[in-house]
Amino acid sequence: MLFTGRAYPELAHEIADLMKVELVPTRALAYANSEIYVRFEESVRGSDAFVIQSHSAPVNEWVMEQLIMVDALKRASAKRITVVAPFYPYARQDKKHAGREPISARLIADLYKTAGADRLMSVDLHAAQIQGFFDGPVDHLWALPVLAKHVKAQYDTSEMTIVSPDAGRVRLADMWSDQLGCPLAIIHKRRDPNVANTVAVHEVVGDVQGRVCLLVDDMIDTAGTICQAAEALVARGAKSVIAAATHPVLSGPATERLNDSLFEEVIVTNTLAIPPERQFGKLTVLSIAPLIARAIQEVFEDGSVTSLFNGAS
């Protein structure tokens, strides 16, 4: 049985249509004091339940709604409960950078477990170690095949260089490089630990002169990092620059920055809803629903999710 929260029901409907099942009718509302109420309007006893929720802003509200849905399923005797969070909430708070900081990604995993979740499913976790935060199976899906298929169809990969926007994304860029058979370049940058969302680009490591540069990342938030990276690449002779990222967070000035940037195209998936006012001409949105639908089917049939990605996880 498939369930959806109110954050992005369109994605859940697309997944349900692909699987040829109906979403369970759900009554969900917020009381005057902002407390959330959820009730499922048919029996869920003995079901294999998949609770789909996209965690766009306001993140805390949608996390709480999903936790309440999981709790309702547990108390209604669902046999197994899988949390489907295409964009894992608080994923960037996966370790301590300084003393007296939380590890909020671990807290989220604990909350899901305490609420009654048996399993987690997410797409492109910000850090692979998050899989170890949850005491149970975690299906880590990759959007790379979806994004790479579009890039192959639209661009000549023989003149392309894959670029990691920072040292932390090198493994992701390496996977792209293997997938497309392209050379790799890395942008060395430093963040100011005391100022949020500010980046200074330092140096480009690798040959980008006269190349089509594909900047890859797991998410685009305020777009400051990736737009500065594009400028650095063009300044060093890149013929053109495109971007591919899984999660279109697009906070604050992101839309304006990307629209005014040097990118030819910005390719993302629909793990998060993009309201009309956040869309722009250079944006291409690919559907992640077929991938999630296949993964849910494999879990339901006790098949292999890893087989969808040639053994990677």
Catalytic residue numbers, as ranges: 189
Q: Is the peptide bond before 276 cis (omega within 30 degrees of 0)?
A: no
Q: Would residue 302 be called left, alpha or beta, if left means φ above 0 and alpha means ψ between -120 and 50 degrees? A: left
The alpha carbon dihedral of 122, 127, 128, 131 has a sign of negative
Nearest Cα to Cα of residue 121 among 310, 277, 297, 311: 297
Identify whether the C-beta of residue 137 lies closer than 8 Å to the C-beta of residue 112. no
Q: Would residue 265 be called left, alpha or beta, if left means φ above 0 and alpha means ψ between -120 and 50 degrees? A: beta
- In whole angstroms, what is the distance from residue 115 CA to residue 201 CA? 42
- In whole angstroms, what is the distance from residue 120 CA to residue 23 CA? 19
